[in-house]
């Protein structure tokens, strides 16, 4: 395919003039269309009860649109403040027994691991898979595994995990599969039905903002799941609850949403989905994948060691390299108007639809002078 030109018009985004913006995995640029989305939120918020009705309609619209993208039913989608918030609700709802374990990768994102690691009644064994073997998580699963936790694409290395294989391994022992789609949602196809619970932040490839995250509850696989915390928004029959009787939560995914949804970020999410829906999603996937593969190939030829697997089936849209000088390199690239990302001792490039092959060429031209292990 022709990747010489971007799929998205860069003029639709707040990208400074002359900049190669290659940090979609950290903070992508903001759409100018979000100005109107936030203004509409401000107007609706100021319009009394009809305004609140309009705000709830935005939530329902976002539910349906995310569900369509994830192959889910609309009522399986809810919204939480962050991935960590949603995972914590799942972790707190489970009754663990001494000897139970959760299996995660050594470089897994904290939002997947920490909510389970903080469960101390009883303590849950955290089994950590190390190395680079594609099946390393599956090798740690046993009869006492209660949860397999994974990011679809690693924020640290750009590795893509085989979610279908993890599903099969979890099913052999009756374990839950909890997945973070943050580094995948918005540019690659998502099949949430492979998971028991799935989450995604909205401020990366989904082109939204912080303040709201997607929560998915697979009602077919886990029909009896009930959270152990609730709030006014997530309980059923809020108008006149009987506090002397049992509290019931909403029947669908909005049981995740304990308090007010973050309406402003939901308006932004809908505007972002409007924009993404204007573009062919399969074409976007191929475009981003092609740019990523080209950069992996080019950096490898320069002799720069990558932590991102080269095989197309094993990497996402992040290209990563470990370095003790990652921040210094990120700063130097920024001065050259190449906006990369640093964190935890690694330099990361990540592409979206506003990128094209000239961005790859520019990175490859800069890196020989910038690279330091």
The more confident residue out of 123 and 128 is: 128
Residues near 245 by Cβ (< 8 Å), separated by ≥ 6? none
pLDDT at residue 121 is higher than 90: no
pLDDT at residue 278 is higher than 90: yes
Which tokens go with 263? 């309406």
- 34-73 pLDDT per residue, tens: 999 999 999 999 999 999 999 999 999 999 999 999 999 9
The segment with the largest mean pLDDT, out of 114-123, 146-155, 232-241, 245-254, is 146-155
pLDDT at residue 238 is higher than 80: no
Q: CA geometry: angle at 80 spanning 178 and 199, to 5°?
A: 25
Whether the link from the prior residue into 345 is cis, omega within 30° of 0, is: no
User: With 0-12 CB in 10 A as exposed, 13-18 as middle and 19+ as buried, what is 210?
Assistant: middle
Which tokens go with 352? 């979206």
Three-state secondary structure of the chain: CCCCCCCCCHHHECCCCCCEECECCCCCCCECHHHHHHHHHHHHHCCHHHHHHHHHHHHHHHHHHHHHHHCCCHHHEEEECCHHHHHHHHHHHCCCCCCCEEEEECCCCHHHHHHHHCCECCECEEEEECCCCCCCCHHHCCCCEEEEEEECECCCCCEECCHHHHHHHHHHHCCEEEEECCCCCCCCCCCHHHCCEEEEECCCCCCCCCCCEEEEECCCCCCCCCCCCCCCCCECCCCCCCCCCCCCECCCHHHHCCCCCCHHHHHHHHHHHHHHHCCCHHHHHHHHHHHHHHHHHHHHHCCCCCCCCCCHHHECCEEEEECCCHHHHHHHHHHCCEECEEECCEEEEECCCCCCHHHHHHHHHHHHHHCCC
With beta carbons less than 8 A apart as the criterion, state whether 88 and 197 touch.
no
Confidence (pLDDT) at 369: 98
**Ramachandran quadrant class, 48 (left: phi over 0; alpha: psi -120 to 50; beta: rest):** left
| Of 360, 294, 350, residue with least CA distance to 321 | 350
pLDDT at residue 120 is higher than 90: no
- 187-202 pLDDT per residue, tens: 999 999 999 999 999 9
The CATH class given to the 36-276 domain equals alpha beta
Whole-number Å distance between alpha carbons of 117 and 100: 12
- Cα distances (Å, whole numbers) of residue 47 to 23, 38, 40, 189: 38, 14, 11, 38
| Of 89, 95, 59, 94, residue with least CA distance to 77 | 59
Q: How many residues does the chain have?
A: 373
pLDDT at residue 237 is higher than 90: no
What is the rounded average pLDDT for all residues in the chain? 97
Confidence (pLDDT) at 159: 98
Whole-number Å distance between alpha carbons of 267 and 26: 21
Q: Which fold has domain 10-30+280-370?
A: 3.90.1150
Predicted confidence band at 33 (pLDDT cuts at 50, 70, 90)?
very high
pLDDT at residue 1 is higher than 80: no
Predicted confidence band at 112 (pLDDT cuts at 50, 70, 90)?
very high
Whole-number Å distance between alpha carbons of 264 and 246: 33
Residues near 103 by Cβ (< 8 Å), separated by ≥ 6? 127, 129, 137, 140, 141, 145, 147, 148, 149, 175
Confidence (pLDDT) at 177: 99
Confidence (pLDDT) at 284: 98
| Mean pLDDT on 367-373 | 97
Whole-number Å distance between alpha carbons of 326 and 340: 10
Confidence (pLDDT) at 175: 98
| Of 175, 196, 213, residue with least CA distance to 86 | 213
Domain ranges for the chain: 10-30+280-370, 36-276
- 279-326 pLDDT per residue, tens: 999 999 999 999 999 999 999 999 999 999 999 999 999 999 999 999
Confidence (pLDDT) at 370: 97
């Amino acid at each position: 395919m022709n990747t010489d030109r971007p799929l998205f018009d860069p003029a639709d985004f707040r990208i400074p003039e002359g900049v190669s913006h290659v940090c979609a995995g950290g903070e992508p640029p903001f759409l100018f269309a979000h100005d109107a989305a936030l203004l509409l939120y401000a107007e609706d918020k100021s319009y009394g009860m009809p305004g609140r009705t309009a705000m709830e309609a935005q939530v329902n619209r976002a539910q349906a649109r995310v569900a369509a993208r994830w192959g889910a039913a609309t009522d399986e989608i809810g919204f939480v403040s962050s991935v960590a918030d949603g995972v914590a609700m799942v972790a707190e709802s489970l009754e663990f027994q001494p000897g139970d374990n959760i299996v995660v990768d050594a470089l897994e994102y904290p939002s997947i691991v920490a909510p389970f690691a903080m469960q101390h009644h009883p303590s849950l064994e955290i089994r950590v898979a190390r190395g680079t073997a594609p099946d390393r998580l599956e090798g740690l699963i046993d009869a006492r595994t209660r949860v397999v936790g994974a990011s679809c694409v690693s924020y640290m290395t750009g590795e893509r995990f085989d979610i279908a294989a993890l599903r099969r391994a979890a099913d052999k022992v009756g374990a839950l599969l909890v997945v973070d789609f943050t580094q995948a949602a918005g540019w690659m196809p998502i099949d949430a039905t492979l998971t028991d619970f799935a989450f995604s932040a909205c401020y990366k490839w989904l082109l939204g903002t912080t303040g709201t995250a997607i929560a998915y509850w697979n009602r077919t696989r886990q029909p009896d799941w009930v959270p152990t915390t609730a709030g006014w928004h997530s309980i059923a029959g809020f108008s006149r609850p009987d506090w002397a009787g049992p509290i019931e939560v909403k029947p669908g995914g909005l049981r995740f949403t304990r308090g007010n949804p973050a309406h402003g970020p939901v308006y932004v999410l809908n505007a972002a989905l409007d924009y993404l829906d204007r573009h062919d999603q399969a074409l976007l996937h191929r475009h981003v994948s092609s740019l990523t593969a080209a950069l992996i190939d080019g950096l490898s030829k320069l002799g720069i060691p990558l932590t991102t697997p080269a095989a197309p089936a094993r990497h996402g849209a992040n290209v990563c390299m470990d370095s003790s000088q990652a921040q210094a390199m990120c700063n130097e690239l920024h001065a050259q108007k190449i906006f990369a990302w640093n964190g935890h001792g690694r330099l990361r490039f990540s592409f979206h639809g506003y990128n094209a092959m000239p961005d790859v060429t520019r990175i490859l031209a800069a890196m020989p002078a910038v690279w330091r292990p």
